[in-house]
Amino acid sequence: ELKVEQNPLFLSMQEGKNYTIYCNYSTTSDRLYWYRQDPGKSLESLFVLLSNGAVKQEGRLMASLDTKARLSTLHITAAVHDLSATYFCAAAAGGNEKLTFGTGTRLTIIP
Amino acid sequence: EPEVTQTPSHQVTQMGQEVILRCVPISNHLYFYWYRQILGQKVEFLVSFYNNEISEKSEIFDDQFSVERPDGSNFTLKIRSTKLEDSAMYFCASSGGSGFYEQYFGPGTRLTVT
């Protein structure tokens, strides 16, 4: 059974600082997803990583995937307040199948 | 930009009652999903649906749950006899379009069982 773990669960960062959220998964996975969720809102797709060594960047967020280590990272560069949200990673195996989500990282950016 | 829509946004029901949650997936998508999120917790998979049948379901998706695609656009989740522990946010998602593996989530239906 595929299991996904994220750390940290809570992260409070100062504006302008850099930090990384880690996502480990337990068995072979074909795809790794990152989503953002604002309080009371839905899940916004950020990245889909499909292969080992994949790196994607959008603004101050950069995601990478190491399938050998079964690890994905979400790196935040020069954080700004607008990035405050909960970030979930999710893994999938096989075809267009279910996503198994991590516990989420609640990110708070403080001035 | 196409999006997944869900109705209602909030449903309050009494324990033991039946509820139907409705979703309109993105029109050219082929795969449909229901997930749920209990307040403050992670998102949990319930069921996936492809080619007019269930392709996978979780342990949560017991006999009280059913899904249906009654026409070419709607995708519904029915809970036959709601329990207090069914209170959660229910998200519909779809995939299989041009961004083939990307799953797009709807805004969710908050179900409150009293």
Mark out chain B residues that contact chain A at CB-CB < 8 A: 30-31, 33, 35, 41-45, 48, 50, 55-56, 58, 91, 95-96, 99-108
Partner-chain contact A48 B43, CB within 8 Å: no
| pLDDT at residue number A53 | 82
DSSP assigned state of A30: S
Task: Supply the range of the domain harboring residue A25.
Answer: 4-57+68-90
Residue A45 to residue B1: CA distance in whole angstroms: 14
Q: Are B94 and B26 in contact (CB under 8 A)?
A: yes
Q: Are A82 and A95 in contact (CB under 8 A)?
A: no
Residue A56: other Cβ atoms inside 10 A: 15
In a domain, A33, yes or no: yes
CATH code, domain with A46 = 2.60.40.10
| pLDDT at residue number B96 | 83
DSSP assigned state of A40: T
Per-residue pLDDT of chain B (114 residues; tens, 9 = 90+): 779 999 999 999 999 999 999 999 998 898 999 999 998 889 999 999 998 999 999 999 999 999 999 887 899 999 999 999 999 999 999 998 766 788 999 999 999 999
Partner-chain contact A100 B45, CB within 8 Å: yes
The residues in A 7-46 lying below 8 A from B, measured between CB atoms, are: 31, 33, 35, 41-45
Residues of chain A scoring pLDDT < 70: 94-96
Q: How many domains does chain A have?
A: 1
With 0-12 CB in 10 A as exposed, 13-18 as middle and 19+ as buried, what is A45?
middle
Q: Where are the beta strands (DSSP E) in B8-61?
A: 10-13, 19-24, 31-37, 43-50, 53-57
Residue B60 to residue B25: CA distance in whole angstroms: 22
| pLDDT at residue number A97 | 77
Residue A56 to residue B102: CA distance in whole angstroms: 14
Nearest chain B CA: its distance from A38 CA (Å) = 11
| pLDDT at residue number B38 | 94
End-to-end Cα separation, chain A, in angstroms: 41
* Cβ neighbours for A28, distance < 8 A, ≥ 6 positions apart: A67, A70, A93
| pLDDT at residue number B61 | 96
Q: B36 φ, ψ to 5°?
A: -135, 155
In a domain, A95, yes or no: no
Partner-chain contact B99 A48, CB within 8 Å: yes
| pLDDT at residue number A95 | 63
**CATH number at B5-99:** 2.60.40.10
Residue keyed to tokens 């499909």: A50
Partner-chain contact B101 A92, CB within 8 Å: yes
- Domain map of chain B by residue range? 5-99
Nearest chain B CA: its distance from A103 CA (Å) = 5
Nearest chain B CA: its distance from A16 CA (Å) = 28
In a domain, A102, yes or no: no
In a domain, A34, yes or no: yes
